[in-house]
Copies of this chain bind each other. A is one copy, B any other.
């Protein structure tokens, strides 16, 4: 189908892989993309290592409509995302005049020294477009189908709000949820038969474990409302018989 828009995400940061910081951006991006009908197909969390970033970004941008990255665009030595994305595209990483001016002005206004560390945040691949940062000015950037954003959740979310309206969006995947008091083992076989009979839906079952017993959330997804409703009705019918 031509209207399926896919995306991948690359989370950049040693602090996530060490467990020191818990990621809060994956779930937010996933929800936002689902809301506008873009399928998030894969997420990779990689370390602050240029080769690792280049490999992930190049693999994912080749097979998805969009790639979103978070992390590594601050002013310190371990912020290497601008260099890595430039390397991935084979472009020079340069000081962007407009970003440099924005940052210089921002710090001058607040009487804070515009250090060479802060000036690093004006670097991006040649020809990249800014992603505005209403929180702390230093812009993210977009090059090709890759959108490079901050890792701090408040800044990431503000940047993403500026990116979403620019994206080509798909037909939204609709979903219906049917709660089920039985564990997956009780319904698994019948649910498999319903899935086979309703090929244009995606039926997922998500086990919930609470106080020593299982219950299940059954989610029916489709881009076609009537087909989703027919599958949901079949699930409800099946549950009534138990």
A148 touches B (CB below 8 Å): no
Q: Are B44 and A184 in contact (CB under 8 A)?
A: no
Docked pose: A120 CA to B31 CA in angstroms:
31
Q: Are B77 and A195 in contact (CB under 8 A)?
A: yes
A65 touches B (CB below 8 Å): no
- 1/0 contact trace for A24-47 toward B, CB 8 Å? 001111111110000111111111
Of A91-99, A204-212, A226-234, the one contacting chain B is A204-212
Task: Indicate whether A18 sits within 8 Å of B47 (C-beta atoms), given known contacts A186-B115, A207-B74.
Answer: no
| Chain B residues near A117 (CB-CB < 8 A) | 184-189, 191-192
Interface of A is mostly: mixed
Q: Are A44 and B43 in contact (CB under 8 A)?
A: yes
Count identical subunits in the complex. 2
| Chain B residues near A214 (CB-CB < 8 A) | 136
CB neighbors of B among A56-91 (8 A): 74-79
- 1/0 contact trace for A101-139 toward B, CB 8 Å? 000000100001101111011000000000000011000
Docked pose: A208 CA to B136 CA in angstroms:
12
Write the nearest CB–CB distance from A147 to chain B, whole angstroms.
Answer: 17
Docked pose: A186 CA to B75 CA in angstroms:
9
Contact among B20, B184, B191, B206 for A21, CB-based, below 8 A: B206
Q: Are B44 and A44 in contact (CB under 8 A)?
A: yes
Docked pose: A73 CA to B185 CA in angstroms:
12
Q: Are B15 and A41 in contact (CB under 8 A)?
A: no
* Nearest 6 CB-CB pairings of A with B: A117-B188, A19-B30, A19-B31, A77-B192, A118-B185, A43-B45
